[in-house]
């Protein structure tokens, strides 16, 4: 009888190992109570080979990591962790300054610098880890690689004849070679859609100066924009930059996904509807997508898109609570009173310090089986996974005022420097009065849908790898 029990035990153990081995081939495996991820540590690192599972559609653009193997213009340059995180913090600092300034202007407080409240507000671009897409401009079509940014409205690319241009991989756009190109006259009502504008020889001009002193200046123009393979948007208005400098890397420009009058979404709404969606890939060796217009999706939970006309940002959500390991943290909803914005250009999620400390402490408590690693500022919760093939990680969820819950995918929990330094990809603001930001790392693999017409934002799982 003892022998039979021993054999039975061995069989159970073998079966358990086989099942666990099978689950580790997937990126994650959740327990039935939705409190844990089981992660194969190898899945935290990208491959050197591109693996694309996104099919091209007429108005769907392929999203790639700027420096990954799937990039249409791959380079050998790899930014350091210090560069990435410093640039990310610079963007966050700028967002906080601009929001604070705009709110002070609204309530009549005096400021040394007056900032407009909407279109063209530049709070930083060129993030080393940002996502890019390929678009077509002009007739015949010329392809360009541009960064996507939900925090910007005006789209722009570098153009000939360029007085001052930074180096980019593609040839500059030459308006003389496009049969559908035209300048926007100063007398046009379209010129007034720019908050910061000037005129030269009857032609409308734009100027954007970013907080890090990067800048773009040139003509406000129209030409045909091609999305995906064949879908076109005639008379698309954008900036044709002839004087540009700064930390833009080698991208050709930017596509603005804000809500104001000159953004791509506003200009395309009559054709596609006031809606767009995207999915950021989990690793730089995968691809995601940006879809303009209605998207047929399922299993999506929507929450309200909060209106805050006193700030230069568009996509606010009403975050009121957090869960770690399935447990609701004891945080007063008033801690989040400064607001929370969904931003494609910020990497690391920033929370009010009161909320972040609660989240961090609970996460550390549940992760105490793993050895800690040195901090990677501003990230202060890091682990050494060198002796582990798989790790068990607590789930993290955002809870909104209407009860909608956003469960962060396992790939959205960590910033991975190396196997011996894997850090929780959340950080605290310096004060609870500063705006919270849900960054793009926490949005990985999710279908994120911006239904502007109905003022709601949706989140669905399994949008891309």
- Asked whether 385 and 420 are in contact (CB, 8 A), the reply is yes
432 catalytic per annotation:
no
Separation CA 142–CA 179 (nearest Å): 12
Strands (E), 160-263: 182-183, 197-200, 203-209, 215-227, 231-245, 253-256
pLDDT at 90: 87
pLDDT at 139 > cutoff 70: yes
**Which pLDDT score is estimated for 329?**
98
- How does residue 212 score in pLDDT terms, banded at 50, 70 and 90? low
Residue 35 included in any domain: no
pLDDT at 155 over 50: yes
Q: pLDDT exceeding 90 applies to what percent of the chain?
A: 66
Using DSSP, state whether 164 is helix, strand or coil.
Answer: strand
Q: What is the mean pLDDT of residues 132-143?
A: 96
One domain for residues 78 and 144:
yes
Catalytic residue among 149, 170, 407, 432: 149
Residue 146 falls inside a structural domain? yes
Of 279, 273, 308, 312, give the one whose Cα is nearest residue 293.
Answer: 273
Out of 249, 272, 292, pick the residue that ends a domain: 292
Residue 77: which residues within 8 A CB-CB, separation 6 or more? 67
* pLDDT tens-digit series, residues 255-298: 999 988 999 999 999 999 999 999 999 999 999 999 998 766 67
- The CATH number linked to 374 is 2.40.70.10
The answer, yes or no, to whether residue 446 has pLDDT greater than 60, is yes
Are 282 and 156 in the same domain?
A: yes
Residue 98 has a pLDDT of 82
Residue 26 included in any domain: no
Task: Tell me the two tokens of residue 443.
Answer: 């949005």
Taking the C-alpha atoms of residue 352 and residue 95, their distance in angstroms, rounded to an integer, is 15
Q: Which domain holds residue 137?
A: 60-292
- Residue with the two structure tokens 């420009």: 253
Instruction: State how far the Cα of 465 lies from the Cα of 463, in Å rounded to an integer.
Output: 7
- Is 24 inside any structural domain? no
* CA 139/CA 176 separation, integer angstroms: 10
212 is catalytic: no
Whether residue 324 lies inside any domain: the answer is yes
Confidence of residue 55 (pLDDT cuts 50, 70, 90): low
Query: Do 283 and 168 reside in the same domain of the chain?
Result: yes
Of the listed ranges 177-191, 231-245, 298-312, 446-460, the least confidently predicted one is 298-312
Q: Residue 309 — pLDDT band, cuts 50, 70, 90?
A: confident
Report the largest interatomic distance among the alpha carbons of the chain, rounded to a whole angstrom.
99
CB-based contacts of 155, cutoff 8 Å, min separation 6: 146, 236, 238, 239, 253, 254, 255, 256, 262, 263, 264
Q: Are residues 241 and 148 in the same domain?
A: yes
Residues 312, 285, single domain; the answer is no
Same domain for 167 and 217?
yes
Confidence of residue 54 (pLDDT cuts 50, 70, 90): low
Q: Report the pLDDT value the prediction gives residue 308, as an integer from 0 to 100.
A: 85
Locate tokens 């303009």: which residue?
292
Nearest alpha carbon to residue 306 among 266, 349, 259: 259
SS3 call for 204: strand
443: how many CB neighbours lie within 10 A of its CB? 24
For the chain, the domain total comes to 2
Instruction: Compute the distance between CA of residue 216 and CA of residue 157 in angstroms, rounded to an integer.
Output: 9
Q: How confident is the model at residue 7 (pLDDT cuts 50, 70, 90)?
A: very low
- 169 falls within a domain: yes
Does residue 173 sit in the same domain as residue 316?
Answer: no
283 and 307 assigned to the same domain: no
- CA proximity to 249, closest of 97, 123, 52, 87: 87
Same domain for 288 and 304 = no
The answer to whether residues 197 and 204 touch, using CB atoms and an 8 Å cutoff, is: yes
Of 273, 292, 311, the last residue of a domain is 292
Calpha distance 274→453 (Å, rounded)? 5
Domain end: 248, 265, 292, which one? 292
DSSP 308: -
Residues pairing with 159 in the sheet: 173
Closest by CA position to 445, among listed 262, 252, 287, 229 = 287
Domain annotation covers residue 350: yes
Pair 318, 250 in one domain: no
In DSSP notation, 99-136 reads HHHHHHHHTT---SS---SSTT-------TT-EEEEEE
What pLDDT does 111 receive? 30
Residue 223 has pLDDT above 90, yes or no: yes
**Same structural domain, 342 and 276:** no
Does 390 reside within a domain? yes
Looking at 40, 231, 343, 347, which residue is catalytic? 343
Asked whether residue 254 falls in the same domain as residue 335, the answer is no
């Amino acid at each position: 009888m003892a022998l039979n029990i021993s054999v039975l035990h061995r069989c159970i153990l073998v079966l358990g190992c086989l099942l666990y081995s099978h689950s580790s081939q997937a990126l994650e495996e959740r327990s039935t109570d939705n409190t844990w991820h089981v992660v194969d540590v190898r899945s935290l690192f990208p491959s050197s080979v591109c693996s694309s599972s996104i099919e091209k559609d007429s108005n769907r653009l392929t999203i790639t990591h700027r420096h990954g193997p799937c990039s249409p213009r791959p380079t050998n340059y790899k930014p350091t962790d210090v560069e990435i995180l410093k640039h990310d913090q610079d963007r966050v600092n700028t967002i906080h300054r601009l929001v604070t300034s705009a709110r002070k202007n609204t309530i009549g407080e005096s400021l040394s610098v007056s900032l407009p409240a909407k279109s063209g507000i530049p709070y930083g671009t060129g993030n080393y880890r940002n996502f890019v897409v390929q678009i077509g401009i002009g007739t015949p079509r010329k392809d360009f690689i541009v960064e996507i940014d939900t925090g910007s409205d005006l789209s722009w690319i570098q153009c000939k004849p360029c007085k001052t241009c930074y180096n980019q991989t593609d040839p500059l756009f030459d308006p003389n070679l496009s049969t559908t190109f035209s300048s926007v006259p100063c007398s046009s009502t379209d010129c007034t859609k720019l908050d910061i504008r000037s005129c030269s020889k009857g032609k409308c001009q734009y100027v954007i100066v970013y907080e890090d002193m990067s800048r773009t200046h040139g003509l406000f123009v129209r030409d045909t924009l091609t999305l995906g393979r064949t879908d076109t948007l005639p008379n698309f208005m954008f900036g044709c930059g002839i004087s540009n400098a700064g930390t833009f890397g080698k991208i050709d420009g930017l596509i603005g996904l804000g809500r104001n009058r000159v953004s791509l979404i506003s200009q395309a709404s009559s054709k596609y509807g006031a809606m767009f969606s995207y999915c950021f890939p989990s690793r730089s060796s995968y691809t995601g997508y940006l879809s303009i217009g209605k998207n047929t999706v399922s299993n999506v939970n929507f929450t309200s898109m909060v209106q805050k006309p006193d700030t230069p940002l568009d996509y606010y959500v009403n975050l009121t609570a957090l869960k770690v390991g399935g447990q609701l943290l004891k945080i007063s909803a008033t801690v989040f009173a400064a607001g929370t914005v969904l931003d494609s250009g910020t990497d690391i999620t920033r929370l009010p310090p009161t909320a972040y400390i609660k989240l961090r402490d609970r996460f550390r408590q549940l992760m105490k089986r793993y050895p800690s690693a040195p901090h990677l500022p501003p990230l202060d919760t890091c682990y050494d996974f060198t002796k582990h093939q798989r790790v068990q990680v607590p789930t993290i969820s955002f809870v909104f005022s209407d009860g909608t819950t956003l469960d962060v995918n396992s790939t959205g929990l960590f910033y991975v420097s190396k196997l011996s330094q894997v850090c929780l990809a959340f950080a605290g603001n310096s004060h609870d009065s500063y705006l919270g930001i849900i960054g793009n790392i926490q949005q990985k693999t999710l279908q994120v849908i911006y239904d502007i017409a109905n003022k709601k934002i949706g989140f669905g799982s399994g949008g891309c790898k």
